Amino acid sequence: MPCTKPFSISLTICKSTVETVHSCLNFVEGMEIANLFIKPLQIGNLRTRHNIVLAPLAGISDYPFRQMCREFGADLTFTEMVSIDGLLYDNGATRRLLTVHPDEEPVGFQFFGSDPELFGRVIPEVENLNPAVIDLNFGCPVRKVVAKGAGSALLKNIDRMRKIVEVVKGATKFPVTAKIRIGWNQEMIVAEEAALAVEAGGADAITVHARTRSQGYSGHAQWEYIARVKQALKIPVIGNGDVFDAQSAQEMFRTTGVDGIMLARGALGHPWIFSEILGEKGDGATSPETSVERRFQIMMKHYRLEVEEFGETVALSRMKKHFGWYTHGLPGASVLRNQIFRAKEFQELEEILESYRKNNIHELAH
């Protein structure tokens, strides 16, 4: 009800009204992201439902993880990064990374390598798998990838980077994209030069992770270089780095002008980040801090999907890192994680979580 008494005597009476107004303003601010920035993303002949993309994450982006993110609104997702060399030599484990289920389109494939000729030989062989997008990794900072002249090593060989894009573009009918970092180190920032080379090679879009190779995943993402790439290019530019919630997504859109955002670490233990950014109020879109019960339900559903896909023994091993992310920030999280890591089967996990809920009911209510 609106306040009708004089202002000087109505501050206490109107406290709940003020809180409601603040709540409404926060809701409107959240919806502003969807209203102003969320839109379809056109990548070659692919048109996505919206422009929030799930990144390819090594050791993480399997079918169960992609499905958990899709449940909360994700559209374009990617398989794990795949080695061109591994595919060439018919490595069964490598090929299994490209397994896509009929119910999860669109899914893109990301490849890494350093030899344009090998890309030209291998890419036609994956055409029958119908990837939504073929993405080229020019940003991975991992030492064993860089040692082979691939990933972010190509930031020091931009001519070869462009050649790889050209060869892949000529070898496939599917959209071709690339992911880069802004440079090798702070003394060798090549974001615009590399991005222009990718565009000149024929890429349909580019993702820019706003860190250098030497930063790894530490320090702050330098979004100003994403903005420079966006100003320099005609193809869609997707920003990546330090987006962990709706507010940081909104800030990246506002300050860089990007066409889309790629989520990586922000989705770990937090697949409902897509609902938050998209402004949806679907099941599970609540904050994890206020819905521990729901967080556990999501975590166990993720685990069940892993069991269905890989079997219980492998699933338990694969899920350990996810358990750590899902329980991050909870009271007594380290003790809980230790108990979870020692669990041998699904039922034991359920008992551990139920015991945790009972023993921490008062802390979780605050």
Q: What is the pLDDT of residues 195-211, one digit of tens each?
A: 999 999 999 999 999 99
Query: Is domain 288-364 annotated with CATH 1.10.1200?
Result: yes
Burial 352-364 (b: 16+ CB within 10 A, else e): ebeebeeeeeeeb
pLDDT of residue 350: 84
Closest CA to 181 of 147, 142, 144, 148: 142
239/276 Cα distance (integer angstroms): 18
Of the pLDDT bands very low, low, confident and very high (cuts 50, 70, 90), residue 347 is confident
CATH topology identical between 36-278 and 288-364: no
210/16 Cα distance (integer angstroms): 42
For residue 216, pLDDT over 90 is answered with yes
For residue 45, pLDDT over 90 is answered with yes
Residue 301 or 346, more confident: 301
pLDDT of residue 18: 40
The CATH number assigned to the domain with range 36-278 reads 3.20.20.70
> Which pair of structure tokens corresponds to residue 65?
């993880």
CB 136 within 8 A of CB 168: yes
Residue 366 or 264, more confident: 264
pLDDT of residue 317: 87
pLDDT of residue 361: 60
pLDDT of residue 345: 83
Q: Domain ranges in the chain? A: 36-278, 288-364
Q: Which of 51-60, 82-91, 250-259 has the weakest average pLDDT?
A: 82-91
pLDDT of residue 313: 87
For residue 9, pLDDT over 60 is answered with no
The backbone torsions φ and ψ at residue 177, rounded to the nearest 5 degrees and listed phi first, read -130, 170
232/221 Cα distance (integer angstroms): 19
Question: Rounded mean pLDDT of 118-141?
Answer: 95
Residue-wise pLDDT tens digits, 321-337 = 999 999 998 888 999 99
For residue 16, pLDDT over 50 is answered with no
pLDDT of residue 284: 40
pTM above 0.75, yes or no: yes
222/209 Cα distance (integer angstroms): 9
CA dihedral sign of residues 273, 260, 195, 219: negative
pLDDT of residue 25: 43
Closest CA to 277 of 298, 263, 259, 288: 263
How confident is the prediction for the chain on average, in pLDDT?
A: 87
pLDDT of residue 19: 43
For residue 187, pLDDT over 90 is answered with yes
Of the pLDDT bands very low, low, confident and very high (cuts 50, 70, 90), residue 344 is confident
pLDDT of residue 341: 87
Residue 89 or 47, more confident: 47
The backbone torsions φ and ψ at residue 136, rounded to the nearest 5 degrees and listed phi first, read -110, 125
140 classed as catalytic: yes
Of the pLDDT bands very low, low, confident and very high (cuts 50, 70, 90), residue 294 is confident
Residue-wise pLDDT tens digits, 80-103 = 999 999 998 876 888 889 999 998
CB burial of residue 120 (10 Å; 0-12, 13-18, 19+): middle
Percent of the chain with pLDDT over 90: 70
Question: Rounded mean pLDDT of 156-169?
Answer: 98
